[in-house]
């Protein structure tokens, strides 16, 4: 048993049929899927999820984008889950993402960067609880 991180495969990657390929990379990276579902976030829910970015100039665009189509949300387990997952997905800006990372391969732009990963253990717990009940975790 390791610790957990929270991820979302973002709308443009889901729409482009990349979910399977991305999930394959996640499992091959040693992450165990604890919980997973395909959901359409309301603007309100997307706004709440990204509330820390409320004052940023891209906030409205981000909320519109993340509520514009279904996402795949998941809780992942691994030792050092948060740090190792951020390494697997790569930099926020795909132009700066390392070769071999999920964002390097699947992102289309800085905004539409294919995947989310929690940035701390504390936020991983908050984000997992935001989307999943205990009964949905295995």
Sites of contact with Mg ion (CB under 5 A): 119
Q: 77 contacts which partner out of Mg ion, ligand IDP, none, CB within 5 to 8 A by kind?
A: none
Residue 84: which of 99, 72, 97, 101 has the closest Cα? 101
| Distance of alpha carbon 59 from alpha carbon 107, whole angstroms | 19
Which residues are CB-contacts of 32 (< 8 A; sequence separation ≥ 6)? 76, 77, 78
Active-site position among 10, 18, 103, 116: 116
By beta-carbon proximity to ligand IDP, the closer residue of 80 and 136 is 80
CB of 42 to ligand IDP, least distance (A): 18
By beta-carbon proximity to Mg ion, the closer residue of 105 and 119 is 119
Q: How many residues does the chain have?
A: 138
Sites of contact with ligand IDP (CB under 6 A): 58, 61-62, 92, 110-111, 113, 116, 119
CB of 134 to ligand IDP, least distance (A): 26
Distances (CA, A) of 9 to 29, 88, 137: 16, 13, 18
Report the chain's C-alpha Rg in angstroms.
14
By beta-carbon proximity to ligand IDP, the closer residue of 80 and 92 is 92
Active site residue 116: yes
Q: What is the DSSP letter of 32?
A: E
What are the catalytic residues?
Answer: 116
């Amino acid at each position: 048993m390791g610790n957990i991180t929270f991820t979302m495969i973002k709308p443009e990657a889901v729409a482009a049929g990349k979910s399977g390929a991305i999930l394959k990379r996640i499992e091959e990276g040693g992450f165990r899927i604890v919980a997973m579902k395909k959901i359409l976030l309301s603007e309100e829910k997307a706004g709440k999820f990204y509330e820390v970015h409320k004052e940023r100039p891209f906030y409205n665009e981000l909320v519109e984008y993340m509520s514009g189509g279904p996402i795949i949300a998941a809780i992942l387990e691994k030792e050092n889950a948060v740090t190792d997952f951020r390494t697997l997905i790569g930099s926020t800006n795909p132009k700066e993402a390392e070769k071999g990372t999920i964002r390097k391969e699947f992102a289309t732009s800085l905004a539409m960067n294919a995947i989310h990963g929690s940035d701390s253990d504390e936020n991983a717990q908050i984000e997992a609880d935001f989307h999943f009940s205990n009964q949905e975790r295995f």
